[in-house]
Amino acid sequence: MSVQMNTLTRILVKALLLFVVVNLIFAVGNPMPLLGKLSVYNGLVPGRQRLSFGYRPDRDYNLVTHHFDALFAAHEIARPKASDEFRVLLIGDSATWGYLLPPQHTLAATLNQQQLRSKDGRKLRVYNLGYPDFSLTKDALILQRALAYQPDLVLWLVTLNSLPLDRQSEHVLVRRNPDAVSKLIAAAPPASIRSVDPTAPNFERPTWWERTLVGQRRDLADLLRLQLLGVMWAVTGVDQDFPDANERYSRDLEADDGMRGLSAASIGSKTLSEADLALDLLAAGHAIAKQANVPLVLVNEPIAVTNGKNSDRRYNSFYPRWAYDQYRGLMSALTQRNGWRYLDAWNTLPPDEFTNTPVHRTPRGENILAQQLLPLLQGD
């Protein structure tokens, strides 16, 4: 009996030691970036047409992960660039991603259906790298990572909601990736980024325990699920289920002049200044694109201009008229001052071509916007 107990004790001690050693190696070696790059996509299954995003794993063949390596490895952008391909990237928020739209009706898909060619005759291929929600810092991080995939042109679609300072570090892709934010700051001109600070308390830096195998078991499970969901997505062509696809935004508005993210002083005085907005992130994006020798065009994306109650004070539920008008003025001055290419498409869609928010577009709205972007894609 004692012999059996001693044997069992030795087995348990060895198992415990092995468990500790494996977790130590995992914490020190940090294999998560490498594991994120291991993917069934663009091999066993096609690459996704848009970055993985979904909160309902029971209904969506999609999920949210903060791992850039896994997001890009699962996307079609990761496949080798063809010798005759002119590669265009769309960067932006949920409107660019295509919220409430199936993949084949997004802006990128609509442009690809045109079967365009560049001026030098290459086949023009547009990639959807939009990602919900609003944050220029999130956009700039995606842009910085995407430049490794040999783009020939970047269209960065923006709206005022992405510019307030308090939005810059709340996105999961930002706050869970402080090292990537630090890399972005280092790549930009010295002291040019002031709107986001990766040392701020809301950024999440894992403890030693959280870097172990046990501590990262949730993230590991997400990486595995992303691969398994790819099979179902490949079979069905459905990445996200939208039960509220027919939802429409409200045209009757509140009688106020406020906007989320703007200071009380700015709202009270109805004065919007460059200091209220993260315009430095736009400059950083241009700087890293220029370093990679990739042309970048800014597009102020369309918004719904309502005609309901209190529409004399607000364009829509997002934007009071005073703030949005001054934002457009600041953007125009900024782009002219820096010589940036810029398209202001703010009021180019009828109000009926928006769905559940004043920025999410219908399939017809995507078609109208696509026609406006064609000259930019073909170098006119």
For 116-134, how does the pLDDT look when each residue is reduced to its tens digit (9 = 90+)? 999 989 999 999 999 999 9
- How far does the chain reach from its first CA to its final CA, in angstroms? 87
Give the lowest-confidence range in 9-23, 166-180, 203-217, 281-295: 9-23
214 or 301, which is more confident: 301
Q: How confident is the model at residue 233 (pLDDT cuts 50, 70, 90)?
A: confident
- Average pLDDT value over all residues in the chain: 89
Residue 159 to residue 332: CA distance in whole angstroms: 13
Is 264's pLDDT higher than 90? Answer: no
DSSP class of residue 217?
A: H
Structure tokens that stand for 40 in this block: 């069934």
Name which of 163-167, 204-208, 366-370 the model is least confident about.
Answer: 204-208
The single-letter DSSP state of residue 199 is T
Q: Indicate if the pLDDT at residue 8 is higher than 70.
A: no
User: What would the mean pLDDT of 254-275 be, rounded to a whole number?
Assistant: 90
- The pair of structure tokens assigned to 68 is 């850039």
pTM over 0.85: yes
Helix, strand or coil for residue 227? helix
How much is the pLDDT for 297?
A: 98
Which run of H or E residues covers position 11? helix 2-29
Q: What residues contact residue 62 under an 8 Å CB cut-off, 6+ apart? A: 52, 53, 54, 229, 233, 239, 240
| Rounded CA separation 353/247 (Å) | 12
**Cβ-count burial of 206 within 10 angstroms (0-12 exposed, 13-18 middle, 19+ buried)?**
middle
pLDDT (0 to 100) of residue 207: 79
CB atoms within 10 A of CB 237: 12
Judge whether residue 15 has pLDDT over 60. no
Q: Do the beta carbons of residue 26 and residue 213 sit within 8 Å? A: yes
Mean pLDDT of 80-108: 96
| 7-11, 72-76, 256-260: least confidently modelled range | 7-11
Give the residue-averaged pLDDT of 59-64: 85
pLDDT of residue 9: 67
For residues 62 and 229, is the Cβ–Cβ distance under 8 A?
yes
* pLDDT classification of 16: cutoffs 50, 70, 90: low
